[in-house]
Amino acid sequence: MAIPAEVKQLSSELRTQLQEHNYRYYVLDDPSVPDAEYDRLFRELQALEAQYPELITPDSPTQRVGAEPLASFGQVRHTVPMLSLANAFAESEVLAFNRRICERLQKAGLQHAGIDYACEPKLDGLAVSILYIDGSLHQAATRGDGATGEDITQNVRTIPAVPLHLRGSDFPPVLEVRGEVYMPKAGFAALNQRAEQRGEKIFANPRNAAAGSLRQLDPKITATRPLAIFCYGIGQVDDMFAMPERHSELLACLKAWGLPVCPENKVVNGEQECLDFYAKLAQKRAQLPYEIDGVVYKVDRFDWQQTLGFVSRAPRWAVAHKFPAQEEMTQLVDVEFQVGRTGVLTPVARLQPVFVGGVTVSNATLHNMDEIARKDVRIGDTVIVRRAGDVIPEVVSSIKEKRPKNSREIVLPTQCPVCGSDVIRAEGEAAARCSGGLFCEAQRKEAIKHFASRKAMDIEGLGDKIVEQLVDEGLIRDVADIFVLRGSQLAALERMGDKSAENLVQAIAQSKQTTLARFLFALGIREVGEATAKNLSEHYGGLAAIMQADVEMLQTVSDVGPVVAQHIVAFFRQTHNQEVIAKLQAAGVQWEECDPAQKTVGPQPLDGQTYVLTGTLSSMTRDEAKAKLQALGAKVAGSVSKKTSAVVAGAEAGSKLTKAQDLGVDVLDEEAFLALLDKLSS
């Protein structure tokens, strides 16, 4: 049936009106019509689209009710990693942060009269990335581990505040927006009220509600949840886009394109104005319509951000200043000692349940025996419980005035509560450890869980409960036993069918091909995290060289001090550890290695130089070009500055090429770049 021209015109006008009303409501916070009028327009468009389905467009305001349920979430690789932020809990830490910024800028020869900081409330929600292609919402993903997240596109499309198409025409063809999805306090209260009326489980706090809503496999459920978003930055962006000079200017662009930006954001100058902003926001925290747990300070100038750079997985130019944790009083009923994967005994307080910071807390950490003595905490005491950083519950102190006569001192056990081995506490160390090593079931389970975790060997499907069953059944005694498991053994486990067993066997086989950095991290060596494992891998190139290195040699590796070096040497000197590693390699666990004898020693030809890549190269990908430059000692940056040594410009190079020419930075076309690589590699 042909659609009358006037109907087409009316539907187009209704879509435009509704999109404008959404922008005024969610972005400008200045609605121009009452809700009833918005609802009338919405129903009118809905009726037209029902009569003429051909009128429905992907970005129509009516297309937010959710698609068909998903079987599972796919994975999305973040082109630009979603980094974490360092935390500050005290004024002194903020002052130290500002001092480090000033010192680094001064060292780089950059003069200033106080640093301009973009201050933003730290929302208590879920970080997401939203990719727009030619202005239309293309894909959305969770933060995940920072490198890989979950595909939640259909769920994010249901959030009314998220534009399905950007406003205006000056947005980049490719734009990845970063933001925080949250649930407003009023929406959270209404959601829990409905759940209570239906006899359903209620959510503990708005953050849990937002996270649970976004990770629904059925988008129709997400569509019923009162979710909102504030955008705070960008990730991937088209090279043709001329980036603003400041973070605050970028936020203004996002707002102009129809993306909600927090109205509390403000640019201040210097450390004291940061602290003033923090104090004012803390005062109005309870009156805000959404939950926040602190303030984020970011150096406003992008060129200074580039100069300051990053450390591990966090930028040096930003910090999250957390609000004081919420505290409550309760009784310490008992203390149990948990044994971790490295054998450390941690005293855990069993508490009379108490509601703190949005959750019911019945357990809290006491850290170690030194802390127990310092705080003078006893069993039976009335204690103050705090959710440190609003996350980890801890016992802050006891209230001596309320101490009962029958209170009992907390005593460190002499034998491991799991395996009965002697408990050892080395001189000068706060931690006490079980001496049972691999004989201790608790350490065995935790070591295997860590080994199989996402950032280690990434064995999909080998979760905590399955590991515990495998150890309890005697099927795994060390991590190498994972790789000789048979499908029939797995299928016999509780709640594990033939198909699940087959999938797990395949996942185990796939995990055999890994990287040296992941393998080192998976071994669970004390204080060897992801960054240290990566540094060791890049420095030595092979496992044998690391195993043979002494304490002095290891300290030549970036970020490896004497204590970490001693832990590494002690680990590899243990016969049982050597045996397990040999078993793993015999089972087929492998990675690419560089022959230490062929490893380049001494300075690299491009040491101290900074290169920028732009445009498309016909002979290799950008990642390959970046790797080749880094192998020659160069640093590869994302933006051009006066400090840039050269810009490599491929086909369709954009604003980076223009900026390089304006600044007089050397520009290499692809032919010149290949000639340089050939010359320096020969």
Q: How many domains does the chain have?
A: 6
With a cut of 90, say whether residue 577 has pLDDT above it.
Answer: no
Whether residue 246 is found in the same domain as residue 123? yes
Give the contacts of 441 (CB within 8 A, at least 6 positions apart). 418, 419, 471
Using only C-alpha atoms, the chain has a radius of gyration, in whole angstroms, of: 28
pLDDT of residue 333: 96
Flag whether 148 is in a domain: yes
Last residue of a domain, one of 539, 572, 598: 598
Per-residue pLDDT, averaged over 271-294, amounts to 93
Last residue of a domain, one of 480, 511, 542: 511
Report how far apart, in Å, the C-alpha atoms of 656 and of each of 240, 347, 644 are. Answer: 8, 55, 11
With a cut of 90, say whether residue 530 has pLDDT above it.
Answer: no
The dihedral sign for the CA sequence 136, 140, 146, 150: negative
**Distance separating alpha carbons of residues 576 and 569, to the nearest angstrom:** 14
Give the contacts of 679 (CB within 8 A, at least 6 positions apart). none
Beta strands in 70-203 (DSSP E): 75-77, 87-88, 116-123, 126-133, 136-142, 148-150, 174-182
Residue 164 falls in which region: left (phi positive, over 0), alpha (psi -120 to 50) or beta? alpha
The one-letter amino acid at 474: G
**Distance separating alpha carbons of residues 638 and 640, to the nearest angstrom:** 7
Whether residue 192 is found in the same domain as residue 303? yes
What are 590-603's pLDDT values in tens digits? 998 876 555 555 67
pLDDT of residue 595: 61
Report how far apart, in Å, the C-alpha atoms of 383 and of each of 362, 373, 411, 494 are. Answer: 12, 14, 18, 41
**Distance separating alpha carbons of residues 436 and 418, to the nearest angstrom:** 10
Whether residue 291 is found in the same domain as residue 195? yes
The one-letter amino acid at 25: Y
pLDDT of residue 67: 54
In degrees, rounded to 5, the angle at the alpha carbon of residue 209 between the alpha carbons of residues 203 and 214 is: 145
With a cut of 90, say whether residue 341 has pLDDT above it.
Answer: no
Contact by Cβ (8 Å): 587, 512: yes
Compare 234 and 59 and report the one with higher pLDDT: 234
Q: For residue 190, what pLDDT band results from cuts at 50, 70 and 90?
A: very high
**Distance separating alpha carbons of residues 644 and 379, to the nearest angstrom:** 61
Last residue of a domain, one of 511, 530, 551: 511
The dihedral sign for the CA sequence 552, 553, 554, 556: positive
Flag whether 214 is in a domain: yes
Contact by Cβ (8 Å): 356, 385: yes
DSSP character string of 502-545: HHHHHHHHHHTB--HHHHHHHTT-TT--HHHHHHHHHHHSSHHH
Compare 421 and 310 and report the one with higher pLDDT: 310
In degrees, rounded to 5, the angle at the alpha carbon of residue 318 between the alpha carbons of residues 312 and 320 is: 100
The DSSP code for 25 is I
What's the distance, Cα to Cα, between the start and end of the chain in Å? 70
Flag whether 68 is in a domain: no
The dihedral sign for the CA sequence 507, 509, 510, 514: positive
**Distance separating alpha carbons of residues 301 and 338, to the nearest angstrom:** 47
pLDDT of residue 602: 62
At 415, list the tokens.
């034998």
pLDDT of residue 427: 66
Which one, of 77, 33, 98, 142, lies nearest residue 317 by Cα? 98
Whether residue 202 is found in the same domain as residue 310? yes
Q: For residue 65, what pLDDT band results from cuts at 50, 70 and 90?
A: low
What are 114-171's pLDDT values in tens digits? 899 999 999 988 999 999 999 999 999 998 878 888 999 999 999 999 999 999 889 9
Whether residue 103 is found in the same domain as residue 193? yes
Flag whether 87 is in a domain: no
Whether residue 342 is found in the same domain as residue 491? no
What are 351-393's pLDDT values in tens digits? 999 988 667 899 998 999 998 998 899 999 999 898 755 567 8
Evaluate if pTM is beyond 0.85.
no
Whether residue 191 is found in the same domain as residue 102? yes
CATH at residue 616? 3.40.50.10190
Contact by Cβ (8 Å): 325, 357: yes
Per-residue pLDDT, averaged over 501-524, amounts to 93
Contact by Cβ (8 Å): 237, 171: no
Per-residue pLDDT, averaged over 578-588, amounts to 90
Flag whether 112 is in a domain: yes
Give the contacts of 29 (CB within 8 A, at least 6 positions apart). 263
CATH at residue 495? 1.10.150.20
Per-residue pLDDT, averaged over 515-534, amounts to 88
Compare 637 and 594 and report the one with higher pLDDT: 637
Q: For residue 267, what pLDDT band results from cuts at 50, 70 and 90?
A: very high
Whether residue 540 is found in the same domain as residue 584? yes
CATH at residue 47? 1.10.287.610
What are 395-438's pLDDT values in tens digits? 988 988 899 999 999 999 999 998 887 887 866 778 888 876 55
pLDDT of residue 431: 87
**Distance separating alpha carbons of residues 284 and 266, to the nearest angstrom:** 15
Flag whether 634 is in a domain: yes
With a cut of 90, say whether residue 619 has pLDDT above it.
Answer: no
Whether residue 459 is found in the same domain as residue 501? yes
Q: Which residues are catalytic?
A: 122
What are 121-135's pLDDT values in tens digits? 999 889 999 999 999
Compare 201 and 548 and report the one with higher pLDDT: 548
pLDDT of residue 139: 95
| Among the ranges given (267-276, 346-355, 512-521, 524-533), the one the predictor scored with the smallest mean pLDDT | 524-533
Locate tokens 């008992």: which residue? 334
Average per-residue pLDDT for the chain? 87
Percent over 90 (pLDDT), the chain: 45
- Identify the domain containing residue 415 by its residue range: 328-424
Whether residue 126 is found in the same domain as residue 47? no
User: What is the distance, to the nearest Å, from the Cα of residue 10 to the centroid of all Cα atoms in its chain?
Assistant: 45
Whether residue 361 is found in the same domain as residue 504? no
Contact by Cβ (8 Å): 77, 147: yes
Burial class (CB in 10 A: 0-12, 13-18, 19+), 273: middle
With a cut of 90, say whether residue 63 has pLDDT above it.
Answer: no
| Among the ranges given (203-212, 239-248, 518-527, 657-666), the one the predictor scored with the smallest mean pLDDT | 203-212
In degrees, rounded to 5, the angle at the alpha carbon of residue 352 between the alpha carbons of residues 282 and 328 is: 15
Compare 623 and 657 and report the one with higher pLDDT: 657
Q: For residue 64, what pLDDT band results from cuts at 50, 70 and 90?
A: low
At 417, list the tokens.
């509560």
Contact by Cβ (8 Å): 478, 451: no
CATH at residue 166? 3.30.470.30
Flag whether 119 is in a domain: yes
What are 431-461's pLDDT values in tens digits? 888 876 556 778 888 889 999 998 899 999 9
Per-residue pLDDT, averaged over 64-89, amounts to 79
Q: For residue 5, what pLDDT band results from cuts at 50, 70 and 90?
A: confident
Q: For residue 1, what pLDDT band results from cuts at 50, 70 and 90?
A: low
DSSP character string of 240-296: TS---SBHHHHHHHHHHTT----TT-EEEEHHHHHHHHHHHHHHHGGGSSS-EEEEE
Which one, of 147, 10, 153, 155, lies nearest residue 84 by Cα? 147
Residue 476 falls in which region: left (phi positive, over 0), alpha (psi -120 to 50) or beta? beta
Phi and psi of 110, rounded to 5°?
Answer: -105, 120
**Distance separating alpha carbons of residues 161 and 297, to the nearest angstrom:** 25
Per-residue pLDDT, averaged over 288-292, amounts to 92
Q: For residue 70, what pLDDT band results from cuts at 50, 70 and 90?
A: low
Whether residue 563 is found in the same domain as residue 501? no
Flag whether 550 is in a domain: yes
